Amino acid sequence: MISYAGDKQIGQMNIDYFSAELTPISDNEIELLHEKVDIDSRYALPNKVNYCKECVISNQRPRILFSEDGTCNSCKYWHKKSNKINWKDREAELRELCDKYRRSDGHHDVLVTSSGGKDSVFVAHLLKYKYDMNPLTVTWAPLVYTDIGFRNLQASIHAGFDNILCTPNGLVQRRLVRHSSIAIGDPFQPFVFGQVNLPLRVACEKGIHLIMDGENGEAEYGGDPSVESNTSFSSDESSKFWLSDFPVENLYSHGFSHEELELYLPPDQTTLKNNHIERHFFSYYYNWRPQDNYYYCMENTNFACNPEGRSEGTFSKYASLDDHIDPFHYYFSLLKFGIARATSDAAHEIREGLLDRNEAIALVRRYDAEAPSERTKSIFLKYTGFNKEQYSLLLERWRNVRLWDGNGSDAQLKYQVE
């Protein structure tokens, strides 16, 4: 068994936040916990598992497309990034966009969705110092901040940015996380609701007409190839790719009130229309390379990597560091699709030319199926209020039986990359 350094430091301080008692889990949620989800039909997964011949991703990643030569659409897109896309032309388009919105009256002219992580801070810093924009960075707080995540957010703010940090009602969010773990199979979805919709609300309130997001994940990491050249997503596309086709409004019928959901909702259609907001991916304009973003932020914004070493479930030390619940997002992916965080990290490091495929396979086989540490599990249980029996039911509800032998802690993946 692989030991995880963080196990030695139980996050007692974080657990102490959650002393308020949650509304008990509903009868409907209990009923759902006893029902297994048909993962294959829900995500339209291919029956036979194949791995990309260039990277390590499998065809079980939702929406990813493999061509006849056995290569995934993300690897194909990365070849295009090197060979076909003219980045000088794309930069000219970015300058044109900035010229259209740049203001000289002191008002913020671009809103950058920012976690304080390497990618979003890279975008904000470049917009400010290379393209002479005046960004407002907007942060939707993680579910349970890690010390390093909060430290990196502070470092980014002190590198010269105005920031709005929005932290929603913790008691409501804990219920939302519990519900989305059961209903969507991803505890992280409430965070995504906020991350997607808060920038729209703030842009409307502040009269900012340009929002810059980081990367188009469908293109960069594998997904629907029809949107790989998009500068942004339509509202239908963002609902599909970001919100799991589960609009926030669905939660009204699951015991959540408008008052509780207010901050998670997008602005109403009339407000949105009247404010003429454009939302763009920076990765459309710039040759996106995660490791370069990391080095850039170390140098320019005092960004620090994970002081505990690698993050759980992977070998990486510098990505997605800010949330104690984060490993569960990837663990649910492992249950449903048989691939998780190390696969994703290794795949893009191959595309970036940082790993060869054999090295990547070894890393995936070592770390991808690592269960969340005892510390992370105890934070998750305290946060959501699941008891141990409910927690076991939850994992089995989302375990894809086509990809796993057995269940519980003895379960083994049937397929691994080779």
Q: Which is nearer to Zn ion, 170 or 217 (CB)?
A: 217
> Binding of Zn ion at residue 346 (CB under 5 A)?
no
> Binding of Zn ion at residue 54 (CB under 5 A)?
yes
Q: Which is nearer to Zn ion, 326 or 349 (CB)?
A: 349
**Region binding Zn ion by CB under 5 A among candidate stretches 44-52, 151-159, 223-231, 280-288:** 44-52
Q: Which is nearer to Zn ion, 75 or 369 (CB)?
A: 75
> Binding of Zn ion at residue 55 (CB under 5 A)?
yes
Site string for Zn ion, 200-239 (x = CB under 5 A): ----------------------------------------
**Region binding Zn ion by CB under 5 A among candidate stretches 55-63, 93-101, 283-291, 355-363:** 55-63
Distance CA(55)–CA(343), nearest Å, equals 9
**Region binding Zn ion by CB under 5 A among candidate stretches 54-62, 115-123, 179-187, 283-291:** 54-62
Distance CA(305)–CA(314), nearest Å, equals 14
| Closest chain position to Zn ion (CB) | 52
In the chain, the amino acid numbered 139 is T
Q: Which is nearer to Zn ion, 75 or 265 (CB)?
A: 75
> Binding of Zn ion at residue 138 (CB under 5 A)?
no
Q: Are strands 162-166 and 210-213 parallel, antiparallel or unpaired?
A: unpaired
Please return the burial class of 383, using the count of CB atoms within 10 Å of its CB with bins 0-12, 13-18 and 19+: buried
Token pair belonging to 115:
């976690």
Distance CA(177)–CA(328), nearest Å, equals 11
**Region binding Zn ion by CB under 5 A among candidate stretches 10-18, 39-47, 75-83, 132-140:** 75-83
- Are 337 and 40 in contact by the 8 Å Cβ rule? The answer is no
Q: Which is nearer to Zn ion, 348 or 397 (CB)?
A: 348
224's CB contacts (< 8 A; 6+ apart) are 63, 65, 218, 241
355's CB contacts (< 8 A; 6+ apart) are 346, 349, 363
Q: Which is nearer to Zn ion, 312 or 349 (CB)?
A: 349
CB of 351 to Zn ion, least distance (A): 7
Distance CA(94)–CA(87), nearest Å, equals 10
Q: Which is nearer to Zn ion, 73 or 384 (CB)?
A: 73
Per rule CB under 5 A, count of chain residues that contact Zn ion: 5
Distance CA(355)–CA(333), nearest Å, equals 23
> Binding of Zn ion at residue 52 (CB under 5 A)?
yes
CB of 13 to Zn ion, least distance (A): 40
**Region binding Zn ion by CB under 5 A among candidate stretches 48-56, 267-275, 325-333, 396-404:** 48-56
In the chain, the amino acid numbered 190 is P
> Binding of Zn ion at residue 349 (CB under 5 A)?
no
Token pair belonging to 163:
């920031």
> Binding of Zn ion at residue 123 (CB under 5 A)?
no
Distance CA(91)–CA(84), nearest Å, equals 15
Q: Which is nearer to Zn ion, 79 or 107 (CB)?
A: 79
> Binding of Zn ion at residue 72 (CB under 5 A)?
yes
CB of 295 to Zn ion, least distance (A): 24
Q: Are strands 412-413 and 404-405 parallel, antiparallel or unpaired?
A: antiparallel
> Binding of Zn ion at residue 56 (CB under 5 A)?
no
> Binding of Zn ion at residue 182 (CB under 5 A)?
no
Q: Which is nearer to Zn ion, 58 or 197 (CB)?
A: 58
- Are 72 and 367 in contact by the 8 Å Cβ rule? The answer is no
**Beta bridge partners of residue 213, listed in sequence order:** 281
CB of 66 to Zn ion, least distance (A): 8
Token pair belonging to 61:
């990643």
> Binding of Zn ion at residue 49 (CB under 5 A)?
no
**Beta bridge partners of residue 140, listed in sequence order:** 166
Q: Which is nearer to Zn ion, 55 or 121 (CB)?
A: 55
> Binding of Zn ion at residue 75 (CB under 5 A)?
yes
> Binding of Zn ion at residue 297 (CB under 5 A)?
no
- Are 112 and 122 in contact by the 8 Å Cβ rule? The answer is no
Distance CA(158)–CA(141), nearest Å, equals 18
Distance CA(413)–CA(402), nearest Å, equals 9
- Are 127 and 133 in contact by the 8 Å Cβ rule? The answer is yes
Which residues here bind Zn ion, judged by CB under 5 A?
Answer: 52, 54-55, 72, 75
